[in-house]
């Protein structure tokens, strides 16, 4: 009992520290995104759009579809980065690390995604990351998608993933607008950019990722082939 309380206090202190660090990292990251990332992208975009637009003005009604496909292709590497795909595996065990190896300790998905029998995710994963290399990351909702809708990202091409994300039978009954809200403000998705010590970040900043997904949605969410 005493041990449990002490552990809670220690974890709590760590979390206060962690929250401070993550806020400053986040603000640095987003100001970086605003200055470097976004302006480079905005330029690339304008360049892309102007050639696309001149083609579409004359002939192609598919300009929006092309923009949507390009936007999804930009967002796609985030979905299949280790921070995201480790919780979106094809099998019934979560994955770990940058090489996405199968989770140690014989952890299984279970019907609701929170583990089987006594081996629930919350046995080890707390409400926030525990500091230190190889310590369990955390979030109040930590778990895999449920067995009935596995929402597999591992091994999907951009086109396959795009079609799956749009399908309410496969995406947890979400509209495209709800998918956009999920990727831009869900805190479990947000964990990907605050993954704890020793874990790499997804290849785009979260604002750039959310902007690409929004662009995809605005252009009627057409999918790559
Ligand atoms: C027995 C303790 C334990 C249980 C139970 C457990 N985990 Fe873990 N998990 C860990 C530890 C420790 C790590 C960190 C490993 C490392 O970084 O080397 C980890 C890492 C992970 C990662 C890797 C994060 C990343 O991006 O590298 C995922 C995903 C994960 N766990 C999901 C789950 C899910 C989902 C459950 C429940 C179905 C679960 N775990 C149950 C201990 C556990
Ligand atoms: C700790 C595990 C975990 C991590 C890490 C994780 N997810 Fe998820 N994800 C889930 C669970 C669980 C659901 C289902 C929740 C629900 O339906 O309410 C989900 C659902 C989703 C959905 C909605 C439905 C669908 O068809 O996929 C999207 C989109 C998504 N995640 C994207 C991401 C992205 C992007 C990342 C990385 C930045 C990520 N997830 C990281 C566990 C995780």
pLDDT digits (tens, 9 = 90+) for 63-101: 799 999 999 999 999 999 999 999 999 999 999 999 999
Candidate from 100, 145, 147 with most ligand 2 atoms within 8 A of CB, to mutate: 145
Half-sphere exposure of 217 (CA within 13 A, CB side): 18
Summarised one tens digit per residue, pLDDT across range 99-145 is: 999 999 999 999 999 999 889 999 999 999 999 999 999 999 999 99
* CA–CA distance, 38 with 45 (Å, rounded to integer): 10
104 CA from centroid of ligand 1 (Å): 8
State the ligand closest to the CA atom of 199.
1
Question: Of the bound ligands, which one is closest to the alpha carbon of residue 197?
Answer: 1
Query: Is residue 143 lining ligand 2, measured as CB closer than 6 Å?
Result: yes
Among residues 151, 185, 179, which one has the least CA distance to residue 80? 151
Category of 103 on φ-ψ map: left (φ > 0), alpha (ψ -120 to 50) or beta:
beta
d(CA 89, CA 130): 23
> Where does the pLDDT of residue 60 fall: very low under 50, low under 70, confident under 90, or very high at 90 and above?
low
CA of 138 to the centre of ligand 1 (A): 9
Contact status, residue 57 vs residue 64, Cβ threshold 8 Å:
no
Q: How far, in Å, CA of 185 to CA of 189, rounded?
A: 8
pLDDT of residue 108: 97
Q: Which tokens belong to 109?
A: 């998905």
Pocket test for ligand 2, best of 90, 138, 146, 151 (most atoms within 8 A of CB): 151
Single out the residue of 129, 144, 148 nearest to residue 191, CA to CA.
129
């Amino acid at each position: 009992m005493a041990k449990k309380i002490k552990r809670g206090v220690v974890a709590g202190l760590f979390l206060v520290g962690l929250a401070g660090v993550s806020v400053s990292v986040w603000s640095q990251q987003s100001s970086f995104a605003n200055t470097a990332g976004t302006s480079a992208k905005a330029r690339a975009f304008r360049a892309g759009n102007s050639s696309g637009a001149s083609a579409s003005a004359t002939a192609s009604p598919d300009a929006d579809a092309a923009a949507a496909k390009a936007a999804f292709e930009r967002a796609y590497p985030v979905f299949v980065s280790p921070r995201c795909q480790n919780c979106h595996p094809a099998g019934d065990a979560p994955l770990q690390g940058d090489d996405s190896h199968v989770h140690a300790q014989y952890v299984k998905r279970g019907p609701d995604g929170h583990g089987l029998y006594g081996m629930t995710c919350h046995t080890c994963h707390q409400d926030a990351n525990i500091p230190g290399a190889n310590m369990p990351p955390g979030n109040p909702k930590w778990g895999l998608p449920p067995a009935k809708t596995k929402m597999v990202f591992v091994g999907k091409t951009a086109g396959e993933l795009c079609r799956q994300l749009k399908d309410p039978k496969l995406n947890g009954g979400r509209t495209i607008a709800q998918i956009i809200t999920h990727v831009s403000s869900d805190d479990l998705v947000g964990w990907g950019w605050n993954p704890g010590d020793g874990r790499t970040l997804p290849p785009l900043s979260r604002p750039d990722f959310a902007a690409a997904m929004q662009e995809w949605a605005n252009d009627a969410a057409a999918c790559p082939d």
